[in-house]
């Protein structure tokens, strides 16, 4: 909160679309690859390098990967990330950074990668397109020196269908690795009719349901939204690029609330079937809604005690910008905002655990849902004087075991300096779409930034 009325323009990238037109990308439009990265991320096959200031994944697609990053992307694309992280150093190389030892060890042991010499992997050197194509062909069972040569894998890569036309062979970026990886999922293993995706499903890397959801059509995405028993559609706005859907959700711990989602169509730069949740502070119904005459922009506003917030959505790229006109805030207003947020999130629910830090209150609550079920949530409610602003709330998404059961956060603790919250969630074999294992969460309380890593139980 601030003490003067002013206009703030901030870019909220709902899909982490921080793409540079300079540097290695040389002006390439990587929006489509961003959509593919999101699909791979949902399967646990591709991860970003962190989060942007708004908490969205930064895939860093406009940069060339290093050799160790390329191997890491390969191992994760094979659904072996958790296994690799648990490995010690078994490779013979002396130049691999500690964080990549497990990944390089797994790839080396499986015959997927080699070094530049007996003791040097070439860590830090830029990975070429030929190198990554070679990695993926090996993963499909092909042998360099027999089926192709490592420095010229292109003909076989084209034949196998793992080389989309837009891949830049000479100036290979992380975006190109995304395209190759996504295409490889549909490629057949050498000498079989089994695709890589089918192999990964059989090995338990992800489920068929999760795969179908990641690459679903627009129609399937819309049906999935409507199939939620707690959801009621209120209004929709159509364009050639996507549909914006406003709905109410019941059975939540804090009562009914609104949700606003963009579902992309084939004409969207992101591709079809992605469902993007648009910002709705306090789950309020949006006002002053309008779809642009060209269907490319959708605008709406939210009126809060702190000011008026106007959002502009690019329906093709998923990019959202926020313009906020803030009102003067007094200490009394800050305390009232915090008290109101706490009251709203504790009314009609059972508080299972409550932790306090200087910046926020951590609430773990349970509420009865439909059909006798239970809905649990973990939220951060910010206090007066905090950097986030009094009354601001961060909802921490817990891993899902089934459609109606969330994993339980265990061993929740705030650090001695009050800066971080840590806990662990166990996802077991009942999971219908989430990778099994132990999810170790770390939340920076001042900013609400959330990170986690998955290990074997």
Q: 314-346 b/e with 16+ CB inside 10 Å = b? A: bbbbbbbbbebebbebeeebbeebbeebbebbb
pLDDT of residue 312: 94
Distance CA 5, CA 173 (A): 43
The tokens for 123 are 């860590």
pLDDT above 50: residue 5: no
Cα within 13 Å of Cα(383), Cβ side = 10
Share of the chain above pLDDT 90, in %: 56
- The band of 215, judged by pLDDT with boundaries at 50, 70 and 90, is very high
Q: Count how many residues are written for the chain.
A: 457
Q: What is the mean pLDDT of the chain?
A: 86
Neighbours of 86 (CB within 10 A): 12
Which residues are registered as beta bridge partners of 413?
422
Quick: pLDDT tens for 108-163. 998 888 889 999 999 989 999 999 999 899 889 999 889 999 889 999 999 999 99
pLDDT of residue 433: 66
Question: Helix-strand-coil percent breakdown of the chain, rounded to 5?
Answer: 25, 30, 45
DSSP secondary-structure letter at 400? B
CA distances to 26, 153, 180, 244 from 158, rounded to whole Å, are: 25, 9, 11, 37
pLDDT above 80: residue 18: no
Instruction: Write the DSSP assignment of 128-158 as a string of letters.
Output: PHHHHHHHHHHHTT--BTTTBBTTB-HHHHH
Place of tokens 């697609």: 61
pLDDT of residue 327: 80
pLDDT of residue 77: 81
């Amino acid at each position: 909160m601030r003490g003067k009325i002013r206009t703030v323009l901030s870019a909220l990238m709902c899909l982490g679309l921080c793409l540079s037109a300079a540097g290695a990308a040389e002006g390439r439009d990587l929006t489509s690859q961003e959509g593919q990265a999101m699909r791979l991320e949902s399967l646990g096959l591709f991860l970003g390098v962190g989060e942007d200031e708004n908490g969205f994944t930064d895939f860093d697609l406009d940069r060339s990967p290093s050799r160790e990053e390329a191997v890491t992307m390969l191992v994760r694309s094979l659904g072996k990330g958790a296994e690799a992280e648990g490995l010690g150093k078994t490779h013979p190389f002396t130049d691999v950074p500690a964080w990549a030892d497990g990944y390089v060890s797994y790839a080396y042991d499986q015959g997927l990668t080699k070094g530049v010499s007996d003791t040097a992997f070439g860590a830090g050197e830029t990975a070429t397109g030929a190198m990554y194509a070679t990695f993926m062909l090996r993963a499909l069972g092909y042998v360099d020196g027999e089926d192709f040569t490592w420095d010229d894998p292109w003909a076989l890569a084209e034949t196998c269908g793992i080389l989309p036309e837009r891949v830049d062979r000479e100036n290979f970026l992380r975006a190109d690795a995304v395209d190759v990886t996504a295409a490889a999922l549909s490629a057949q293993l050498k000498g079989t009719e089994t695709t890589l995706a089918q192999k990964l499903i059989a090995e338990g890397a992800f489920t068929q349901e999760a795969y179908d959801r990641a690459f679903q059509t627009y129609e399937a995405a819309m049906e999935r939204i409507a199939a939620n028993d707690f959801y009621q559609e209120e209004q929709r706005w159509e364009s050639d690029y996507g549909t914006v859907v406003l709905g109410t959700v019941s059975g939540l711990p804090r009562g009914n609330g609104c949700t606003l989602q963009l579902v992309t169509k084939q004409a969207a730069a992101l591709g079809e079937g992605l469902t993007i949740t648009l910002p709705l502070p306090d789950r309020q119904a949006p006002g002053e809604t309008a779809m642009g005459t060209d269907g490319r922009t959708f605008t709406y506003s939210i009126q809060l005690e702190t000011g008026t917030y106007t959002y502009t959505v690019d329906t093709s790229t998923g990019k959202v910008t926020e313009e906020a006109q803030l009102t003067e805030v007094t200490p009394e207003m800050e305390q009232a905002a915090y008290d109101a947020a706490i009251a709203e999130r504790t009314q009609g629910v059972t508080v299972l655990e409550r932790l306090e830090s200087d910046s926020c209150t951590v609430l773990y609550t349970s509420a009865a849902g439909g059909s006798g079920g239970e809905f649990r949530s973990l939220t951060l409610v910010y206090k007066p004087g905090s950097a986030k602003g009094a009354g601001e709330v961060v909802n921490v998404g817990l891993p899902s075991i089934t459609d109606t059961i969330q994993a339980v956060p265990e061993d929740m603790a705030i650090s001695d300096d009050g800066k971080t919250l840590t806990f662990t969630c166990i996802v077991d074999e009942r999971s219908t779409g989430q990778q099994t294992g132990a999810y170790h969460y770390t939340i920076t309380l001042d900013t609400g930034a959330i990170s986690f890593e998955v290990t074997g139980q």
